[in-house]
């Protein structure tokens, strides 16, 4: 059985392995022991913290195979980005130039550095080991975060965003970044991405172009990848689009990948999930797969199974094994969502 749970200190080796396997461009998991241990500690503190308004909390979770005890994936939610460190994006916009004298009108696309998403919650750090990328596993890992958002809305910003990995090659080089490196930053994409993942972002404000950049003046190969996702990220983007996330013309400052957004309360999974009361016993035959979670924060658990759920009743039967793995007892509530 696969379960989603909060990360803990004993998961360091597994997280380090995932950081290596995720490769270049996966900014939120640099291969750095100090940073990874810090992320785990921060997550443990966040899950155990009493929160009235979201600040700099980070909720990092893992997918565990209960048969082997192996951690096979990870996913996370940032409560409110930009509260401690600057959170940069490029905003795609248009400038209009018009002259009646010569009867010419031009619309010029621009990229402007901004902090417009400060305070938004962020879906992040989604990665599943290759051999587990089958069936509903990826969908389970992604959607488990929506159940947590639905149950604990007060812990998160009202807007939820997700930065999608942009186009880069097998060596981690980004066509979009090449012009930035040449004219402004002077360091390669892998190093800049790594520094960003370490939280060392002061160089961005110091070296990034402060005036709008005219897209038409970029090399063609850089223009082509603005707003495009990495081939390995397309399934994750499709899942988010199905939940109501949309591209609003914000792109990553390094690889040009799109950022998508949705109001927390407008996310389809948040709207459609239900709270049901647990009964424990022999589970009846059912045809529909559900993802479900307990209502805890520090002891959050999520799993999937075929459940018999009725719109006329607010109860659901779980087997003793599932109830044990979910850390629930008869009479407790769980949040359920059809897969």
Residues 169 and 232 grouped into a single domain: yes
Write out pLDDT tens, residues 116-126. 999 999 999 98
Choose one of 236, 268, 300: the last residue of a domain: 268
Residues 248 and 322 grouped into a single domain: no
Choose one of 208, 241, 268: the last residue of a domain: 268
Whether 89 sits among the annotated catalytic residues: the reply is no
Write out pLDDT tens, residues 196-226. 655 555 566 666 777 788 898 888 998 999 9
Split into its structural domains, the chain has a count of 2
148: CATH: 3.40.630.30
Residues 35 and 66 grouped into a single domain: yes
Specify if 88 maps to a domain: no
Helix, strand and coil percent figures for the chain, each rounded to 5: 35, 30, 40
Options 230, 285, 311, 313, the catalytic residue: 230
pLDDT at 193 > cutoff 90: no
Residues 19 and 37 grouped into a single domain: yes
pLDDT at 151 > cutoff 70: yes
Residues 234 and 278 grouped into a single domain: no
pLDDT at 59 > cutoff 70: yes
Residues 56 and 36 grouped into a single domain: yes
d(CA 121, CA 35): 21
Q: Is pLDDT larger for residue 289 or for residue 98?
A: 289
φ, ψ dihedrals at 289, nearest 5°: -80, 135
Neighbours of 98 (CB within 10 A): 10
Choose one of 215, 250, 268: the last residue of a domain: 268
Q: 244-250 — which CB contacts under 8 Å span 24+ positions?
A: 244/268, 245/160, 245/162, 249/91, 249/92, 249/93, 250/89, 250/90, 250/91, 250/92, 250/114, 250/116, 250/117
Q: pTM of the prediction? A: 0.89
DSSP assignment of 65-96: ETTTTEEEEEEEEESSTTSSS---EEEEEEEE
pLDDT at 28 > cutoff 70: yes
Q: For residue 309, give its domain range.
A: 273-338
Helix (H, G, I), strand (E, B) or coil at 330: coil
φ, ψ dihedrals at 206, nearest 5°: -80, -35
**How far lies 30's CA from each of 24, 190, 191, 251, 284, in Å?**
9, 10, 11, 21, 45
Specify if 157 maps to a domain: yes
Specify if 216 maps to a domain: no
pLDDT at residue 209 in the model: 72
Residues 152 and 19 grouped into a single domain: yes
Residues 65 and 141 grouped into a single domain: yes
């Amino acid at each position: 059985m696969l379960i989603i749970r909060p990360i803990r200190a004993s998961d360091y080796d597994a997280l380090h392995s995932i950081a290596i396997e995720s490769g270049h461009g996966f900014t939120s998991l640099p291969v750095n022991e100090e940073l990874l241990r810090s992320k785990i500690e921060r997550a443990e503190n966040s899950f155990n913290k009493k929160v009235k308004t979201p600040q700099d909390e980070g909720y990092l979770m893992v997918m565990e195979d209960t048969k082997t005890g192996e951690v096979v994936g990870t996913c996370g939610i940032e409560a409110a980005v930009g509260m401690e460190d600057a959170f940069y994006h490029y905003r795609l916009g248009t400038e209009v130039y018009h002259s009646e004298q010569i009867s010419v009108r031009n619309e010029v696309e621009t990229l402007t550095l901004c902090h417009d998403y400060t305070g938004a919650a962020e879906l992040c750090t989604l990665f599943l080991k290759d051999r587990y990328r089958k069936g509903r596993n990826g969908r389970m890992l992604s959607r488990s975060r929506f159940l947590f958002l639905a149950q604990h809305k007060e812990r998160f910003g009202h807007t939820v965003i997700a930065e999608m990995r942009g186009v880069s090659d097998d060596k981690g080089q980004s066509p979009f970044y090449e012009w930035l490196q040449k004219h402004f930053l002077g360091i390669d994409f892998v190093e800049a991405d790594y520094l960003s993942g370490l939280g060392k972002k002061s160089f961005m404000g110091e070296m990034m172009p402060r005036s709008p950049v005219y897209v038409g003046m970029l090399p063609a190969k850089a223009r082509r990848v603005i707003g495009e996702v990495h081939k390995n990220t397309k399934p994750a983007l499709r899942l988010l689009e199905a939940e109501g996330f949309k591209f609003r013309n914000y792109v990553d400052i390094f690889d040009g990948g799109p950022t998508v957004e949705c109001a927390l309360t407008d996310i389809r999974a948040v709207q459609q999930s239900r709270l049901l009361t647990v009964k424990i016993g022999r589970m009846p035959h059912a045809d529909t797969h559900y993802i479900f979670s307990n209502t805890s924060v520090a002891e959050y658990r999520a799993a999937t199974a075929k459940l018999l759920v009725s719109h006329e009743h607010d109860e659901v039967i779980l087997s003793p094994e599932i109830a044990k793995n979910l850390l629930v007892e008869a009479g407790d509530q769980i949040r359920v969502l059809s897969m």
